[in-house]
Structure 1
Amino acid sequence: MAEAREQERINEFEELYCSMLTSFLTTLYHVFLPISLPVVAGALLRYYKGLATKPLSAVSLYIMSPALIFDTLLHAEITTSDVAVTAVFCVANVVVLWLLCSLLGKLLKLSQPEQAGLALTTLFTNSVNYGLPLVLLAFGQLGLDKASVYVIIQIIIVNTFGVFVAARSHFSAAKAFQSVFTLPSIYAAVCAVLLRMSGTVLPEALDTGVSMLSAAYAPLALVILGAQMMGVKEGKETALVTPAGFWSGMAMRMIIGPLTAWGLLVLLPVDRTLFAVLLILSSMPAAVNAVILAEQYDAAPKLVSRCILWTTLSSFILLPVLIGVMG
């Protein structure tokens, strides 16, 4: 009897191992390979053509991002329950992580730009161009529908509170707050909500144009990421990244971030699928648009881009494991 139970435990372990390995390899092929193409293209352009990323960052921040927010808010199928729970989670998660970042930055005596870079790295995950395809693969259409709510809310937070965090590295709190309202993203969100509440339908040609701009956001952001990653290796610029700033960013995004999300989700009334989706999205590597904000406001962009690179590489191991556990 004891031998039979031991063999049963061995068989269960082998099945779990095979399942996690299959999930890992499938994720690499169906998600990471397509995502890698624009990243590699951006890196090659930076290396061979000296691609300047700041103008591209401005295009992404002032054109593509507002189009994405407007298009997503206008067409997403969302429920009141999902919006309420996800909104509470997103706000609570950002507040807790921001407080932890502020405390850690002061303890490590990081410079003001590095503190802003640490916050950008920690608070915002790569949930759009990385998270959505991963969630679709792991949890199907139901998971993707729930993920869209998180993505919409995070996009709004990034383009409001994210800008405030980035701008504070060089400006006063008042000026940083004012800078939020210089971006079209906040107005795009308001317009989309008003149109949706009123039941107004955009003319087909206009809707198609906005959708085209929206679709261009992800590849452009990934090209910028690739170029920034290549820039990390340049000697003088690399010296601006301190070990304390880098390792604190890695720890906050890949360890403290997932643990904080798990703790908050346990306290909220969420179903199993929403729990898994929100945990996975909150455990993603640092967001591509974090480096766009860092570049635009000089909030330690080299620190942010290096953390994006290494949190992305680390996620190749962490995320398949999480998906296997949550599945």
Structure 2
Amino acid sequence: MLSTFIHTLYQVFLPISLPVIGGALIKRFKSIETKPLSTLSLYLLSPALIFETLMHADISYGDVTQTVMFTVLNMLLLWGLAAMLGKTLLLPAAERAGLTLVALFTNCVNYGLPLVLLAFGQAGLDKASVYVILQIIIVNTIGVYFAARSHFSMKQAVLSIFKLPSVYAAVLAILLRTSGVLLPPSLEEGVSMVSGAYSSVALFILGAQMVSVNAGSSGRAVYTAASQKAFYAGMALRLVLSPLASALLLLIIGIHGTLFNVILILSSMPAAVNAVILAEQFDAAPKIVTRCILWTTLASFLVLPLLIGILS
């Protein structure tokens, strides 16, 4: 087990750590703004990666069906666990909303996709594409509901989907693939060049965002008893309960092989940075969400190598 853990660290997490550390150092000492890079990743690199992956992905109808089934059931399961913990701990409404965001939404795009590619190769990335597209849609619809609750606008949430270029890229790739239309070789090479830049830029952004999150939660912040309970509950949900619940659900559905490994890793990722954006916008305990993002990300560099080693 120890040798497998060290091997996974060396083969998978060492390459990932370099751009993450680079992003953290440049953010710390040069105070760069990550918003332009995030825009580049969201509107160009990520759609190119999704498009290229879906155009050539070795995925079956059964893979798609099982992934959709797992995503919906896992969301409901984690929602129920977060609600139960929130009521048991007598958390205020804002803390319960923040706990739900931490439980449900993982950093499966900026962190998960590069990790899956390194750990499981192109076959793993193919399997991951459907799950990631579903997560992007859910975060921008149901995520808004969980964060806003009382002043939720279904119309705004639905319209937000149509602002996501990755969704259009996925639809275009599916249409081209089902119709048998191929891109000209020169155009396909250009898309490949753009998508190839995704991993390093996404991991660079992750490192810079970790420094920003840390700065945002530093200082003399005072945490109440309720916020402390919400923080520890969020850590337990994301690092322990979520992987266990996901593994059990995957076994019940009957998912196995590479698809099992990929979905389990993606559903066990640390809390998504996007969660704090929703928490801040709708006052869903953003300080608690911020702390959970930082510490689940740091803990993932120990937890995920162990999980990948076990799956290997």
Instruction: Give, in whole Å, the separation in 1 of the partners of 2:214 and 2:251.
Output: 41
Per-residue CA distance 1:56-114 (angstroms, 9 max, x = gap): 223222222222221111111112333322332223222322343355456522527x8
Report whether the alignment pairs 1:115 with 2:92.
no
Residue aligned with 2:214, SS: coil
Map 1:309-324 onto structure 2 (within 5 A). Answer: 309-324=294-309
Q: Give yes or no for contact 2:214–2:294 (8 Å, CA) kept in 1.
A: no
Q: Is the 8 A contact 2:127 2:262 kept in 1?
A: no
Match of 2:78 in 1: 97
The equivalent of 2:270 in structure 1 is 285
Provide the residue aligned with 2:115 in structure 1: 130
Partner of 2:197: 216
Flag the 1:255–1:237 CA change in 2: closer, same or farther, 3 A. same
Whole-Å separation in 2 of the counterparts to 1:309 and 1:130:
18
How many angstroms does 1:186 deviate by? Answer: 1.6
Question: TM-score normalized by structure 2?
Answer: 0.81
Identity of aligned residues (%): 45
5+ residue gaps, structure 1, are 1-19, 137-143
AA matched with 1:158: Q
**Structure 1 partner of 2:153:** 173
Q: How many residue pairs get matched?
A: 296
Instruction: Give the residue type in structure 1 aligned to 2:251.
Output: V
- Partner of 1:47 in structure 2? 28
Q: Please list the CA deviations of residues 188-219 of structure 1 after superposition, one character each: whole Å capped at 9, or x if unmatched.
A: 11111000000111122222222222222222
- Find the structure with the greater CA-based Rg: 1
Please list the CA deviations of residues 267-295 of structure 1 after superposition, one character each: whole Å capped at 9, or x if unmatched: 12234554444334433333xxx315644
Q: Deviations over 1:238-271 (max 9, x none)?
A: 6398434432322111111111112212212234
The verdict on how the C-alpha distance between 1:295 and 1:219 changes in structure 2, with shifts beyond 3 A counting, is farther
**Contact conserved, 1:101 with 1:119, CA < 8 A, in 2?**
no
Q: Secondary structure at the match of 2:237?
A: helix
Amino acid at match of 2:18: L
1:228 aligns with 2:209: yes
CA distance in 1, matches of 2:274, 2:80: 23
TM superposition score normalised by structure 1:
0.77
Q: Distance in 2 between matches of 1:269 and 1:42?
A: 39
Give the CA deviation at 1:296.
8.0
The match for 1:204 is 185
Q: 2:233 aligned to 219, 225, 248, which one?
A: 248
Give the superposed CA RMSD: 3.0
Match status 1:86 vs 2:67: yes
d(CA) in 2 for partners of 1:303, 1:208: 44
Q: Deviations over 1:158-181 (max 9, x none)?
A: 221112245444663321222122
User: What amino acid maps onto 1:206 in structure 2?
Assistant: L
Question: Is the 2:70–2:250 contact (alpha carbons within 8 Å) kept by the matching residues of 1?
Answer: yes
Mapped contact 2:68–2:134 kept (Cα < 8 A): no
Residue in structure 1 matched with residue 14 of structure 2 by the alignment? 33
Per the alignment, do residues 214 and 276 of structure 1 end up closer, same or farther by CA in structure 2, a change over 3 Å counting? closer
Unpaired stretches in structure 2, ≥5 consecutive residues: none
Q: 2:141 maps to which residue?
A: 164
